[in-house]
Amino acid sequence: MKDFWNERFGQEDFIYGKSPNAFFAEHLSKLGKGKVLLPAEGEGRNAVYAAKKGWKVVAFDFSEEGKSKAIKLAKENNVRIEYHLLNASDFRSNDPYDVIALIFAHFAGEERKVLFKKLENALAPGGHLLIEVFSKNQLGKSSGGPKDFGLLYSADEIKSLFPNIRFSLLSEYTVQLKEGRYHLGEASVIRALGTKNG
């Protein structure tokens, strides 16, 4: 899987574009400034957007090519992001985050459970969780996303994996994606907004 993403991110262009995910950008702009974590951040489009808006940004991904593109994009925009090269299972955090955003961050069964528990713990009480991911109904569509059913999500799964998050939005939508050449066309996504109890 790492080789797959290094090959994809190793292409010259930014394959998901340089603009941030629309759902992420819309809702981050409504929150006060603070520290945001972006797991599986790939080429850095959301991290750079958040940094430009004054957020302290921490991101991680396991792809060396993804990190290289993200650092390049940050330099182009004269912002600084903290970007770690690591597997999701190796994520550790001692500092709380004001926002954690999972934007098309897809993980398999046990890795998903372990990571999401760590992410929930890393979110400050009252902190915000933003999610846009492909739903299980995305399988077979040509607009992007994993081809493995086990990497896709349902709203019920997300709710159960974040038991201490109070969701104000958690629903499946049909949307038109226009994010580079790999997220293009009609897609089935789950969007969620939540606040950590406490």
Q: What is the pLDDT confidence band of residue 166, given thresholds at 50, 70 and 90?
A: very high
**CA dist., res. 106 & res. 149, Å (int):** 11
Q: Print the domain residue range for 121.
A: 2-196
Encoded amino acid at 181, one letter? R
Looking up residue 79, the CATH number of its domain turns out to be 3.40.50.150
Q: What is the pLDDT confidence band of residue 38, given thresholds at 50, 70 and 90?
A: very high
33-37, 83-87, 108-112, 121-125: range with lowest mean pLDDT: 108-112
Q: What is the pLDDT confidence band of residue 3, given thresholds at 50, 70 and 90?
A: confident
CA distances from 170 to 67, 72, 132, 159, 190 (A): 30, 34, 10, 8, 7
Percent of the chain scoring above 90 in pLDDT: 90
Q: How many domains would you assign to the chain?
A: 1
* pLDDT computed for residue 109 by the predictor: 87
